[in-house]
Amino acid sequence: MKEAGEKLLNVALVGNPNSGKSTIFNKLTGLRQKTGNFPGVTVDAKEGRLRLPSGRELRLTDLPGTYSLHPTSSDEKIVAAVLANPRDPHFPDAVIYVADATHLEKHLLLLTQLLDLNVPVLLALNMSDTAAEIGIKVSPGILAERLGIPVVPVSGRTGENIQKLIGEVEKLLLAPLAARKPFYVPTELEKQVAEAVCLNLNLDNPYQALLIAHHQSWLPFLSPQERATLEAIVKNKEFQSLRIQVDETLERYDRFTPLVQAAVQNPPQFPSTPTDRIDAFLTHRWVGPLFFFVVMLLVFQAIYDWSAVPMDLIENMFSGLTSWLKIHLPQHWLSDLLTDGILAGFSGILVFVPQIAILFFLITLLEEVGYMARVVFMFDKTMRRFGMNGRSVVSLISGGACAVPAIMSSRTIGNWKERLITTMVTPFISCSARIPVYAVLIGLAVPANRVFGILSWQSLTFGSMYALGVLAAFASGFVLKKVLRTHDLSYLAIELPVYRMPHWKNLWLTVWEKVLAFVIGAGKIILIISIVLWAMARFGPGDDMQQAEAEALRIAATQQLNDTATADLVAAYQLESSYAGCLGKLIEPAIRPLGYDWKIGIALIASFAARDVFVGTMSTIYSIGSSDDDVMLREKMQSATFDDTGTSVYTLATALSLLVFYALAMQCMSTVAVVARETGHWKWALFQFAFMSLLAYFGAWVVYHLFQ
């Protein structure tokens, strides 16, 4: 138990990309972790809780992988910004440095920088089992002695020595920090600059001062006065930051290379490995891109095929529950709220879970085995034509699952313009939330018969919606490339990791975490909106609802309708007089040119919070008052007519127009919020919202008039 007043200790995991850091993190924390994936969570890294043998709990943060404290991209900047600032709430009380034991000679640069920052640190030699298998002998004793820190050989794969690692963390936290001799000996100029910075900023660690001097232009914790002072120091001393950074890096290598040579026996000789043989195909001039497209096709195939059964199961479960409740609950508006509001909303959320889980599973799998880096390499040139970076491919593919994590993955892009364009165009890619909207509308209006014998018109329309999204993304990228200006360096320089079997635990944890984030994050919004909508449709201004009922009953009496028809007529009249009806009617003139009636208007407005709301909203609107529970949404929509002309609402033209609108419009509060956060300005989020909405309106208008 945490005692009152006792500060929660921070321990950070730091290491190079591909060091297996996240696997160690998952081994240490298991399910007790969360990510800042959804708005409202300000922490940018994964966090988990870890209990020490003594019972004390600490906060473990998995910082983004980086090669050096001299960063070149936003996720690397996060690491430098936290570690250069002891006042940062995430500044670690101790660091677990994870290095790949099979490539130790490339993995110690960052560790030596941490040593000079004087943070308590221990070295976890990951993949020690793999190293032993390929004949590399690493002596932890020599490393511990020469580096002056504890060294623990571990395996993220088997979990070997993880308990020992936890024990060493505890010892490290208890031991007083001994003064260390600096690993890197600064030059005379660096000493002078560090001294000046220490004096002005009241610091005592010269390497920290040096880091601040190097990165004064962007470090977020500096005040404007501090920044001005630092700028003056750097200018006055003619401190050529870039060159000095390179010299520092080379000097560090010179110092730790002999140390690695002393500690490692049988260093690798780089024979031809399975990775080389696989890459001969997967990055081949012809086979490579072809393989990529086949993989993408398989991914989409899997999403539709594998998810059909669980989706039907969930849907049937909910409709069964709803019918049962309608029979057994007393007639009361609270019962209606439960069945038509809350349950309708819930099934709208949970029905996506299979598709989201499958999509995230496959995308994470591609990332885990090391294939994504190859995609980045192959398509860098293509993406640059459209103002983006090879790394943008990862964001765009992830956008097929959900734009929120996809936009966050663009942090690895160092160039501001390329990253901004990636952020701007990713929401065009049809995300999983659009799937149910597409499914309902296509099932409604597109004939199921086949073209060319194999493809059905329906699946062809489905495919076209994805193609439209991709087209819109690339076209916008092309336009934005012409408009935006930057002086940032654009680079590809990416490590192509060794192919490896996925860590299934990592995979399941990621899928679990994303599904949970979706159900809780997006689900909250969907649920609230379902309830609000239900209330808006159930109640109306003044006594309009009573009048509507009386009017409907009068008409029913004159037309001698049976009970069911009378109830439906009453419901229809009441909906029209409700608050929701008033709102829908209000915007009807604006959306009538697109072929929509006021009921669709209600769904459109609601969908601006999250597009998945569409199906739930339609269910809510069409289910109110209806006595027949077995009638599916699709059938109800099919029989819908315009109030004034009496013509059918859901013609092919309307359905296609709606499809295009949903494909192109920015209808997701979570994405708007994450864009504002990631770009640092609301203006970009608003710009994106305006330009996607306009494009959607225009596109829908064109399609409606083409097919009418």
Q: What does the binding site for other proteins look like in residue numbers (CB under 8 A)? A: 67-68, 70, 72, 103, 105-106, 109, 242-243, 245-246, 249-250, 253, 268, 270, 275-276, 279, 283-286, 288-289, 373, 376-382, 384, 390, 489, 491-498
CB of 275 to other proteins, least distance (A): 7
- Rounded CA-CA distance 444/432 in Å is 19
Q: How far is the CB of 132 from other proteins (least distance, A)?
A: 18
Residue among 415 and 607 whose Cβ is closer to other proteins:
415
For other proteins, which is the closer residue by CB, 246 or 528?
246
Are the CB atoms for 25 and 46 separated by under 8 Å? yes
Phi first, then psi: what are they for 96, rounded to 5°?
A: -100, 115
Q: Given the structure tokens 């209606």, which residue do they identify?
A: 336
CB of 613 to other proteins, least distance (A): 40
Instruction: Please state the closest distance from residue 407 (CB atom) to other proteins, in A.
Output: 23
Shortest distance in whole angstroms from residue 415 CB to other proteins: 12
Q: What six digits make up the tokens of 109? A: 């640069």
At 450, phi and psi to the nearest 5?
-100, 150
Q: Residue for token digits 């003044």?
A: 542
Tell me the pairing of strands 57-62 and 450-451. unpaired
Which helix (DSSP H) or strand (DSSP E) does residue 456 occupy? strand 455-456
End-to-end CA distance of the chain, in Å? 68
C-alpha Rg value of the chain to the nearest Å: 30
User: In 3D, which of 51, 279, 281, 262 has the Cα closest to residue 167?
Assistant: 51
> Contact 407/674 with Cβ under 8 angstroms?
yes
CB nearer to other proteins: pick between 285 and 332: 285
- CB closer to other proteins out of 39 and 289: 289
| C-alpha to C-alpha distance for 491 and 311, rounded to whole angstroms | 43
By C-beta, is 105 or 145 nearer to other proteins? 105
Question: 624: left (phi > 0), else alpha (psi -120 to 50), else beta?
Answer: beta
Query: What's the min distance (Å) between Cβ of 250 and other proteins?
Result: 6
* DSSP, res 410: G
Q: Which is nearer to other proteins, 72 or 547 (CB)?
A: 72
One-letter amino acid at 30 equals G
Q: What is the nearest approach in angstroms of other proteins to the Cβ of residue 636?
A: 50
By beta-carbon proximity to other proteins, the closer residue of 379 and 462 is 379
User: Smallest distance from the beta carbon of 373 to other proteins, in angstroms?
Assistant: 7
SS3 assignment, position 47: strand
- Per-residue tokens: 48: 């988990």
- Least separation in angstroms between residue 479's CB and other proteins is 22
Q: Are 303 and 357 in contact (CB under 8 A)?
A: no
CB of 221 to other proteins, least distance (A): 22
- Residue nearer to other proteins on the CB measure, 78 or 465: 78
Tell me the Ramachandran region of residue 30: left when phi exceeds 0, alpha when psi lies from -120 to 50, beta otherwise: left
Nearer to other proteins, 26 or 112 (CB): 112
Nearer to other proteins among residue 242 and residue 501 (C-beta): 242
Instruction: Please state at what angle helix 652-664 crosses helix 682-707, rounded to 10 degrees.
Output: 160
Shortest distance (Å) from residue 619 CB to other proteins: 46
Closer of 214 and 514 to other proteins (Cβ):
214
d(CA 520, CA 517): 5
Q: Which of 463, 412, 401, 456 is nearest to 438 (CA)?
A: 463
| Helix/strand/coil for 123 | strand
